[in-house]
C-alpha cells in the first residue's frame, strides 16, 4: 500500500537545513515543498537547489494548505515563536534541538502543541544510532545488572587553536549567549542530556555543573555530574577546546560494562534519514525512538539545572 507523501516546509536555511533537506530526499514519503529565510536571496537559492518554493513571510508559509509539516532549523532563540505559530496553523512539527531556551517557554509550547493535536518531535538524531538503541535494550533487560556509573564525553578541539577565522555572518548567533543559550553545551551537551535519559530510562534528580561561560561569552567547555533517580552518577563532558578528545560513552553496571564509540564517529546523514522514516511511522500510529515533546522539555529542564548550578 502506497502512503501519501508528507509535504514539508523548512524554516532556517543554514548548514543543518541542508542536511535535513537531503534526508527528506532520501527518506520514504517525504517532500520539501517550501522554505523560508530572513535573507530572501538565500531562500531563493536554497529553494532552487531542493526544488521547493521560497516564501516571503512566515504568515504565508503557515497559511499554505499545501504544507503538512514544518521543520524548524532556525537559531535557538527563534524556536519558541516559530513552534507556536506552526502549532496554531495545525502543522506537524520537527524542531531542531534544543526545543527552546527556558523551561517557562517550553511549557507554553507544550500547551500549544497539545491543543493542536498534531505530531511533534525534537530532532535528537543520535537516538537513531544502532549503538544507542542496543545500549537501551541491554540496560532495559538488566544485562549489566544495576546501573553503577555513566561517563559521556563528546568534544572537538578547534577552539584550542590560538587563531581561528571568524564565523560566517549567518552563524554568529552561536557565539551570542542570549541567542544560542550556550556553546558546546547547546551544540553537543544537550544531545548527551537526551541520550542519558533515552539509554538509561531514568530521570535526573540532582545536578552539579561547571562551565567556563561568562556573561558575554558562551561556554567552550561544560562539565556536569548528574545523579539519576536510581542513584547512579553520570559524568558528562563536552568542549570545543579539547584536541584529540577520547569521545565515548561508558556505562558501568554491577554485572559488566558497555562502551559506545561509533555513535560520535559515524556519518550522521543516515540517522537523519531514519528520523524522517520514523516520523512517517509516527504519523501511522507506530511507536518510534523519536524524542517527544516531553523528551524535549526534559532536556530543557536538565539544561536549565546545569546553567543554574554552573552560575553558583
Per-residue pLDDT of 156-182, as tens digits, reads: 986 555 555 666 666 677 788 899 999
Mean pLDDT of 192-211: 98
The answer to whether residues 158 and 165 touch, using CB atoms and an 8 Å cutoff, is no
- Note the pLDDT tens digit of each residue in 7-43: 999 999 999 999 999 999 999 999 999 999 999 999 9
The residues of the chain that CATH labels 3.30.360.10 are 130-265
pLDDT digits (tens, 9 = 90+) for 127-164: 999 999 999 999 999 999 999 999 999 999 865 555 55
Residue 90: predicted pLDDT: 98
Look up the CATH number of domain 130-265.
Answer: 3.30.360.10
Would you place residue 1 in the very low, low, confident or very high pLDDT band (cuts 50, 70, 90)? very low
Query: The domain at 6-125 falls in which architecture?
Result: 3-Layer(aba) Sandwich (3.40)
Percent of the chain exceeding pLDDT 70 equals: 95
Model pLDDT for residues 223-262, shown as the tens digit of each residue: 999 999 999 999 999 999 998 899 999 999 999 999 999 9
First to last CA, the chain: 57
Residue 172, pLDDT score? 76
Q: Whole-model pTM? A: 0.94
Q: Where in the chain is the domain with CATH 3.40.50.720?
A: 6-125
Amino acid at each position: 500500500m502506497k502512503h501519501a507523501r508528507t509535504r514539508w516546509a523548512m524554516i532556517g536555511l543554514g548548514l543543518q537545513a541542508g542536511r535535513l533537506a537531503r534526508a527528506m530526499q532520501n527518506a520514504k514519503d517525504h517532500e520539501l515543498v517550501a522554505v523560508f529565510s530572513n535573507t530572501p536571496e538565500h531562500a531563493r537559492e536554497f529553494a532552487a537547489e531542493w526544488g521547493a518554493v521560497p516564501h516571503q513571510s512566515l504568515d504565508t508559509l503557515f497559511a499554505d494548505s499545501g504544507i503538512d509539516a514544518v521543520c524548524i532549523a532556525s537559531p535557538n532563540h527563534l524556536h519558541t515563536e516559530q513552534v507556536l505559530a506552526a502549532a496554531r496553523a495545525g502543522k506537524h512539527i520537527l524542531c531542531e534541538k534544543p526545543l527552546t531556551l527556558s523551561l517557562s517557554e517550553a511549557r507554553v509550547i507544550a500547551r500549544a502543541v497539545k491543543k493542536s493535536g498534531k505530531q511533534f518531535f525534537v530532532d535528537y538524531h543520535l537516538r537513531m544510532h544502532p549503538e544507542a538503541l542496543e545500549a537501551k535494550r541491554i540496560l532495559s533487560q538488566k544485562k549489566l545488572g544495576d546501573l553503577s556509573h555513566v561517563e559521556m564525553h563528546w568534544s572537538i578541539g578547534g577552539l584550542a587553536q590560538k587563531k581561528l577565522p571568524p564565523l560566517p555572518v549567518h552563524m554568529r548567533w552561536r557565539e551570542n549567549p542570549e541567542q544560542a543559550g550556550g556553546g558546546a553545551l547547546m551544540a553537543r551537551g544537550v544531545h548527551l542530556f537526551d541520550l542519558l535519559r533515552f539509554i538509561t530510562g531514568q530521570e535526573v534528580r540532582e545536578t552539579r555543573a561547571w562551565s567556563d561561560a561568562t556573561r558575554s561569552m558562551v561556554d567552550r567547555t561544560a562539565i556536569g555530574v548528574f545523579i539519576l533517580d536510581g542513584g547512579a552518577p553520570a559524568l558528562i563532558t563536552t568542549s570545543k577546546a579539547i584536541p584529540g578528545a577520547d569521545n565515548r560513552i561508558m556505562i558501568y553496571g554491577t554485572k559488566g560494562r558497555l562502551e559506545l564509540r561509533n555513535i560520535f564517529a559515524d556519518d550522521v546523514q543516515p540517522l537523519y534519514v531514519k528520523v524522517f522514516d520514523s516520523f512517517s511511522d509516527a504519523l501511522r500510529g507506530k511507536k518510534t525512538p523519536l524524542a517527544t515533546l516531553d523528551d524535549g522539555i526534559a532536556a530543557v529542564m536538565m539544561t536549565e539545572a546545569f546553567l543554574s548550578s554552573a552560575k553558583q
